[in-house]
A and B are shown apart, each in its own frame.
Chain A
């Protein structure tokens, strides 16, 4: 009798426990590099305002994240907050009912349409993740080498190639550090870096999705023509040069210009022993509007089956606030806040990158939204085509023709 009462008492306590205790939110993420930043900076800042909500950052390995998350969601054991990959991976989760519609969050007003586009349904009617950060493309240069050789920072294409020529004549530096062995740099730091200036950013990207422009149109072929000219300025044996080779060539001070993504900033700051600067992709003629690839990369959404939905929404509102933006962007220089409120960056190189947002138009990589859903996959084909064009084994026109026919083979608006 006594024992039964005790068991009943214990059971009662156990059952009542969760309801009385504070809400605990678990964050699923692939950013295991950021674990200490979340634990030491971000979560304490949140708890200063909301001491009643406990937040646990529980990342898994990047390569396993998608598969692990899918099985956890299917089994109902996933955390309350889900870090979102851009575009189709997250859209698929929303369509399966795993991610909640967050269009109603007040802080969504802090983000532009481009910032939200990676985590919206195709018609833009529902947004299911709060944008966190993007990466910006441009060129990082060795400022000491520029001073030594007497080269000005280029703003137009003509100046860009004149600068490269000057380095080539000087002979002390490899003009540009890039290789084609791994292929993706040619597309990501090549084609999609310089391309937005030709296809006018969002305007061209949307026209391509709508089927009003083709990849064989001049604005989409012109970037390939530029890439074809890069060949002469790359190092000896660039065909077999890998991505880490290029990074090392630049940080060892052997190359002058590095076609970059802003995620390199933290690593380069640690490695390079010289002054660095950055410039946006050069425009055709001085005074043209410039366009930059400001690619939406990471966001955070809510598990639709989370038992702590109210607490999760409080957290997400905070993630959408300018305060979080400043914290996150400064803790991880190179991962820029997507918040419309400008963030003051402490890192000068990161500040240079983010300052382009004020004078240039932002767009995202042309191949990421919708256009890479079919077979052949446009993004992967673009890797191959860009690398071929740089190596000179395919002409810009032939490469564009091939991409267009591949896209048209499955994408109805292009047929």
Chain B
């Protein structure tokens, strides 16, 4: 009689640490937060189950919904700037770095990547100083080339503040797409490129016709990382503009809105129940975005095996 396959215990044993740590630190808090969003303070210090009432307040009450849509709109703009500026520049830098004739490539690579490992606190503080209308070097540098009239207190103006912060964030994180694309470009076998050269495809057209299709999966991954990172962003805005995300909430994104609501601010006491509802909405937005990517885009990407 044939015996069934032996139970492969080692799989469970090897998976256990990751599963346990991930469950304890991510899954349980996530479901705890989602659960908490269904409750609210009841009479006499108790806690009542309120169903979706917190979400009804968040989207139905004009004050809450205005703040929420404002934060979401700002967040989308923040994401758009990253997609339009950070990722194309990252790809371009990677393409330049991977050209064999470039000298000191290692130096550029390191220099461009360094801001990524800096703390948000340092980045926020340094850029605030650079752009400061009083002590900053930005007005002086513009003055030196005769463009002083272009200077404005960017972080203090409603119309510029969010874009300025998004560009600061781009400056900090452009190293990440650069590194990922750079690695993908190095992975392209020389035979493919040589074959292209044999067919007379060189220079720019080689990049567009051969390399770019081959790195598309990496670009997809970068897009989704940018999306998740941007919709969870909080630190830079908090460091540069404070929890009230001034001027006049023009830099308020979902992260700062959540922070103010959940933990409270100044005289405003924290409201963990509405805070959880906002966290739930953020989770839904991110989940939706990731799903669109996974089913809508990733499954259609063609992969090449070398």
> Which residues of A approach B to under 8 Å, CB–CB?
87-88, 179-184, 235-242, 245, 249, 367-368, 372, 375-377, 379-380, 383-384, 387-388, 391, 393-394, 406, 409
Question: Measured between alpha carbons, how far is A367 from B268 in the docked complex, in Å?
Answer: 11
Residues of A within 8 A of B241 (CB): 181
Tell whether, in the assembled complex, residue A377 and residue B133 are in contact, meaning their CB atoms are under 8 Å apart: no
Residues of B within 8 A of A409 (CB): 63
Residues of B within 8 A of A249 (CB): 134
> With A249-B134, A372-B268, A384-B246 as given contacts, are A240 and B63 in contact (CB-CB < 8 Å)?
no
Tell whether, in the assembled complex, residue A377 and residue B244 are in contact, meaning their CB atoms are under 8 Å apart: no
Count of interface residues, chain B, beta-carbon cutoff 8 Å: 28
* Nearest chain A residue, comparing its CB with the CB of B246: A183
Q: How far is the CB of A81 from chain B (nearest CB, A)?
A: 24
9 tightest Cβ-Cβ pairs between the two chains A and B: A237-B133, A239-B156, A240-B156, A240-B153, A237-B153, A377-B268, A372-B267, A379-B267, A239-B153
Residues of B within 8 A of A379 (CB): 266-268
Question: Measured between alpha carbons, how far is A58 from B152 in the docked complex, in Å?
Answer: 47
Tell whether, in the assembled complex, residue B244 and residue A383 are in contact, meaning their CB atoms are under 8 Å apart: yes
Q: How far is the CB of A320 from chain B (nearest CB, A)?
A: 27
Residues of B within 8 A of A236 (CB): 133-134, 153
Within 8 A of A (CB), among B190-233: none
Residues of A within 8 A of B246 (CB): 180-183, 384, 387
> Which residues of B approach A to under 8 Å, CB–CB?
63, 128, 131-135, 139, 152-158, 241-242, 244, 246-249, 265-269, 271
Question: Measured between alpha carbons, how far is A179 from B248 in the docked complex, in Å?
Answer: 14
Q: How far is the CB of A113 from chain B (nearest CB, A)?
A: 22
Contact of A181 among B63, B152, B155 (CB under 8 A): B155
Tell whether, in the assembled complex, residue A240 and residue B248 are in contact, meaning their CB atoms are under 8 Å apart: no
> With A388-B248, A393-B247 as given contacts, are A240 and B132 in contact (CB-CB < 8 Å)?
yes
Please list 27 pairs of residues, one from A and one from B, whose beta carbons are closer than 8 Å in the complex, sorted by A's number: A179-B156, A180-B246, A181-B247, A182-B242, A235-B133, A235-B134, A236-B134, A238-B133, A238-B153, A239-B247, A240-B132, A240-B155, A240-B157, A241-B133, A245-B134, A368-B267, A375-B63, A377-B265, A377-B268, A379-B267, A380-B265, A380-B266, A380-B267, A387-B248, A393-B158, A393-B247, A409-B63
Question: Measured between alpha carbons, how far is A368 from B155 in the docked complex, in Å?
Answer: 29
Tell whether, in the assembled complex, residue A380 and residue B268 are in contact, meaning their CB atoms are under 8 Å apart: yes
> With A375-B268, A391-B247, A393-B247 as given contacts, are A183 and B242 in contact (CB-CB < 8 Å)?
yes
6 new A-B pairs (CB below 8 Å) besides A182-B246, A238-B133? A88-B267, A239-B153, A367-B267, A379-B268, A383-B244, A387-B247
> With A240-B155, A241-B134 as given contacts, are A406 and B267 in contact (CB-CB < 8 Å)?
no
Residues of B within 8 A of A235 (CB): 133-134
Contact of A180 among B156, B249, B265, B269 (CB under 8 A): B156
Q: How far is the CB of B121 from chain A (nearest CB, A)?
A: 15
Residues of A within 8 A of B249 (CB): 384
Q: How far is the CB of A374 from chain B (nearest CB, A)?
A: 9
* Nearest chain B residue, comparing its CB with the CB of A236: B133
Q: How far is the CB of B203 from chain A (nearest CB, A)?
A: 44
Tell whether, in the assembled complex, residue A380 and residue B134 are in contact, meaning their CB atoms are under 8 Å apart: no
Question: Measured between alpha carbons, how far is A24 from B269 in the docked complex, in Å?
Answer: 34
* Nearest chain A residue, comparing its CB with the CB of B151: A237
Residues of A within 8 A of B242 (CB): 182-183
* Nearest chain A residue, comparing its CB with the CB of B248: A388
> With A180-B246, A240-B154 as given contacts, are A376 and B63 in contact (CB-CB < 8 Å)?
yes
Residues of A within 8 A of B248 (CB): 384, 387-388, 393-394
Q: How far is the CB of B30 from chain A (nearest CB, A)?
A: 23
Tell whether, in the assembled complex, residue A181 and residue B156 are in contact, meaning their CB atoms are under 8 Å apart: yes
Residues of B within 8 A of A241 (CB): 132-134, 153, 156
Q: How far is the CB of B44 from chain A (nearest CB, A)?
A: 12
Question: Measured between alpha carbons, how far is A99 from B143 in the docked complex, in Å?
Answer: 60
> With A180-B247, A237-B156 as given contacts, are A375 and B267 in contact (CB-CB < 8 Å)?
no
* Nearest chain A residue, comparing its CB with the CB of B269: A88
Q: How far is the CB of B117 from chain A (nearest CB, A)?
A: 26
Question: Measured between alpha carbons, how far is A409 from B248 in the docked complex, in Å?
Answer: 20
Question: Measured between alpha carbons, how far is A249 from B158 in the docked complex, in Å?
Answer: 24
Residues of B within 8 A of A237 (CB): 132-134, 139, 152-153, 156
* Nearest chain B residue, comparing its CB with the CB of A184: B266
Residues of B within 8 A of A377 (CB): 265-268
Question: Measured between alpha carbons, how far is A391 from B132 in the docked complex, in Å?
Answer: 17
Question: Measured between alpha carbons, how far is A180 from B246 in the docked complex, in Å?
Answer: 9
Residues of B within 8 A of A184 (CB): 266
Question: Measured between alpha carbons, how far is A285 from B190 in the docked complex, in Å?
Answer: 85
Residues of B within 8 A of A394 (CB): 248
Tell whether, in the assembled complex, residue B267 and residue A240 are in contact, meaning their CB atoms are under 8 Å apart: no
Q: How far is the CB of A396 from chain B (nearest CB, A)?
A: 15
Residues of A within 8 A of B269 (CB): 88
